[in-house]
Amino acid sequence: MIQAKLENTATVLDVEDMTCANCAIGVENQLKKLGADDIKVNFALGEASFVAPKSISPDEIAKIITNIGYKSRIRENDKDEKQGLSSIEKKFWFSLFFTLPLIAHMFLPNDSFMQNPILQFGLACPVFILGVFHFGKSGLSSLRNGAPNMDVLIFIGSASAFFYSIWGAYISYGTSETHNFLFFETSASIISLVFLGNLLEHRSITKTTSAIKDLSAMQVKTAMRFNSKGEAEEITYNAIQVGDLLLVNTGDVIPIDGIIIEGNGTIDESMISGESIPINKEKGHKVIGSTILTDGNIIVQAEAIGQNTVLSKIIDLVKNAQQDKPNIQRLGDRISAIFVPVVLGISFTTFLLSKFGLDLSTQQSMLQAIAVLVISCPCAMGLATPTAVMVGIGRAAKTGILIKGGSTLEELAKTKTIIFDKTGTLTTGKFTIKSLNVIDGNKQEIIDLLFNIEGRSAHPIAKSIVENLKTKAKGISLSNIEEIKGIGLSATDESSNKWKVGSYRIASELTDDKLHEVYILKNNKLMATLDIEDEIKPQAKEIITELINQGIQIILLSGDRKSKCDAVAQKLNIQTVFAEQLPNEKLTKVEEYSSKGNTVMVGDGINDAPALARASVGISFGNATDVSINTAQVVLLGTNGIDKLTETLRLSKLTFKTIKQNLFWAFFYNMLAIPVAAFGFLSPIIATATMGLSDIVVIGNSILLKVKK
């Protein structure tokens, strides 16, 4: 039902060492060069999915990605979990082992053995070589791919300090001034601190993706399947096939999406839909995998497994959310793309002005130039949007709100107008009896007749009448029941009376009153009329009132009769109503309002699909038609659906606000930090630590979105 899965032919790579959006762009560009299709690179999750071309195998592609600086391996199973220390953790601890003694020399006297340039070179060399393979290789590849990343700046900064120290040791070796030329600790500290920042960033980002882990944890590991002998046996989840019969007992988690073929029970679907009240289900009802059978025993026939289950599609929606970038992110992307070359230019200019303009020493000029390189942080700009989008969409998914992409969040946050369909959206699609107007005869006789004759019809209005009268009517014997095509039904009772029930057309010769929905005739005499009204969805009035109070324009747009639409609009205090609209007329109205500002369309029918597609954001429900679900950008799960609408808008505004806060911090940090470093107020080591802190601030603000009100 929900279109969000990867193609079956897609290969998924686990990709390590992607630390920013530019890293992801570099991997994506490399995959494009290799001819891969359907490419999705997610640096927050450390994965890349693609459809490999026939000319090269996925294994070869993984090796090429590894060769450009990002360790890659094909994921054999979506649930694979890495054991032990990660690559970045190993690199950090290795570099720290050599860096700590180098830093210690700064606190020792000039005649200490730690001031020996050969010893310092020996300690710095392993760290620098590791930095070359990590930052140098990645930076060089990013330059080749046309998307220079943070590693370019880190490598140039650490290399400058390292080679300057070698040159300084050479020209001053054996003199008392040698220690003034040694900055090996600066080179090693830059590398170690960036590794530390990457490590903290990696651990922080995993918290932004916890919604995926929480959703994945819902999936059962085993199930009870009936074998050919009719015996229930335990099997693994991966062994379940479409058509298998599975036994689910009280307290069990339903393993897959399917249909109940035997038994009944009460099911808690809150983990999928956010609906707190358990639902009673019986034979013929659909069930969703990972929901809980709180009471009863059922046998379920598997209808969807693997990536086709509702849970898997929800997980894919969250995982792929940041691929659909909000407009606001494009500003950050454009700046990030030119950021590294600009910083290199500023760093070089800083050195020239300090050395030749301000007549500072070569060491001081070089340190200020290095500080500019390492304090700059395009990573924060790259992390600002995707981390917030991941948390926002993940939080929404856990409450039964499925949002297809980051750009949808931005469009929702700017909503000016919401257009509602009526039937199935604001109303339940069921009808209640407003009044039974008896003109002649006995009221109970007419109730009994209506209940029994309408019980033979499949029309929605007939079903609603039967449901309304089932506690008031008693069974009577009817014969010669016939359908009068397009008009109603006729029948004969035990006393040979001929009854007709239907629209105004059966009574047109007897009355000019066309204002009722149902007319009841006995022996061609008008006995009664029936007025019905749409059943308003629970909380619909409160929701509409809240939206109006937020300054959002509310419009009712329906294909139903004007009298019906006006009645619903009056109950819900909707001022603008367009009734008796065909699908193309609905589309025209949506286009008209969309041209004036962000317009949301809420609907659930096939006839709503064009309008849902044309609106700034289309919203549908989990129990709607497949066409409307596939067309909409937001799907609200649960039995009511509309009760989650205000929460959807609230979460979108919170997420968009968080994105703006993150981008403001990233821009503000760089605008402030670069001049401070250029004027020599920060050493390269302090600048490196500050750079890592800026990433943590952005990620931390995104994580707070989990609990923001």
Quick: pLDDT tens for 474-504.
Answer: 889 999 988 776 678 899 999 999 999 988 8
Host H or E run for residue 298: strand 292-304
The confidence score (pLDDT) of residue 603 equals 84
The confidence score (pLDDT) of residue 329 equals 57
The confidence score (pLDDT) of residue 299 equals 92
What percentage of the chain has pLDDT greater than the value 70? 82
Is a pLDDT exceeding 90 seen at residue 300?
A: yes
Taking the C-alpha atoms of residue 599 and residue 607, their distance in angstroms, rounded to an integer, is 18
Taking the C-alpha atoms of residue 59 and residue 505, their distance in angstroms, rounded to an integer, is 72
What percentage of the chain has pLDDT greater than the value 90? 18
Mapped onto helix, strand or coil, the DSSP state of residue 201 is: helix
- Region 266-277: mean pLDDT is 64
Taking the C-alpha atoms of residue 370 and residue 307, their distance in angstroms, rounded to an integer, is 49
- Region 506-519: mean pLDDT is 88
Instruction: Given the residues 268, 421, 448, 493, select the one marked as catalytic.
Output: 421
Taking the C-alpha atoms of residue 642 and residue 572, their distance in angstroms, rounded to an integer, is 14
The confidence score (pLDDT) of residue 1 equals 40
Domain 428-536, CATH: 3.40.1110.10
The confidence score (pLDDT) of residue 684 equals 73
- Region 29-54: mean pLDDT is 82
- pLDDT band at residue 549 under the 50/70/90 scheme: very high
Is a pLDDT exceeding 90 seen at residue 527?
A: yes
Within 8 A by CB and 6+ apart from 240, the residues are 223, 225, 246, 255, 256, 302, 305
- The residue extents of the domains of the chain are 219-252+257-304, 401-426+537-637, 428-536
Quick: pLDDT tens for 146-179.
Answer: 767 667 777 887 888 788 788 877 777 777 666 6
**Of the candidate ranges 80-89, 320-329, 522-531, 532-541, the one whose mean pLDDT is the lowest:** 320-329
The confidence score (pLDDT) of residue 2 equals 39
- pLDDT band at residue 310 under the 50/70/90 scheme: confident
Is a pLDDT exceeding 60 seen at residue 623?
A: yes
Quick: pLDDT tens for 66-77.
Answer: 887 788 888 765
- Region 233-241: mean pLDDT is 87
Taking the C-alpha atoms of residue 341 and residue 330, their distance in angstroms, rounded to an integer, is 18
The confidence score (pLDDT) of residue 625 equals 57
- pLDDT band at residue 6 under the 50/70/90 scheme: very low
Residue 532's beta-bridge partner residues? 433
Is a pLDDT exceeding 70 seen at residue 411?
A: yes
Is a pLDDT exceeding 50 seen at residue 7?
A: no
Quick: pLDDT tens for 84-127.
Answer: 567 778 888 999 999 888 887 767 776 677 778 888 899 999 99
Kindly report the length of the chain: 709
Taking the C-alpha atoms of residue 456 and residue 476, their distance in angstroms, rounded to an integer, is 13
- pLDDT band at residue 607 under the 50/70/90 scheme: low
Taking the C-alpha atoms of residue 669 and residue 683, their distance in angstroms, rounded to an integer, is 17
Q: Is 80 noted as a catalytic residue in this protein?
A: no
Backbone angles phi, psi at 370, to 5 degrees: -65, -40
The confidence score (pLDDT) of residue 337 equals 64
Is a pLDDT exceeding 80 seen at residue 5?
A: no
Name the DSSP letter for residue 131.
H
Cα four-point dihedral sign 126, 131, 134, 140:
negative
Tokens of 426: 């604001």
Domain 219-252+257-304 maps to which CATH number in 3.90.870.10, 3.40.190.10, 2.70.150.10, 1.20.1250.20? Answer: 2.70.150.10
Is a pLDDT exceeding 60 seen at residue 326?
A: no
Whether domain 401-426+537-637 has CATH 3.40.50.1000: the reply is yes
- Region 252-259: mean pLDDT is 89
Most confident of 138-152, 306-320, 336-350, 469-483: 469-483
The confidence score (pLDDT) of residue 78 equals 46
Quick: pLDDT tens for 644-670.
Answer: 899 999 999 999 899 889 888 877 887
Q: What string of DSSP letters covers 158-172? A: HHHHHHHHHHHHHHH
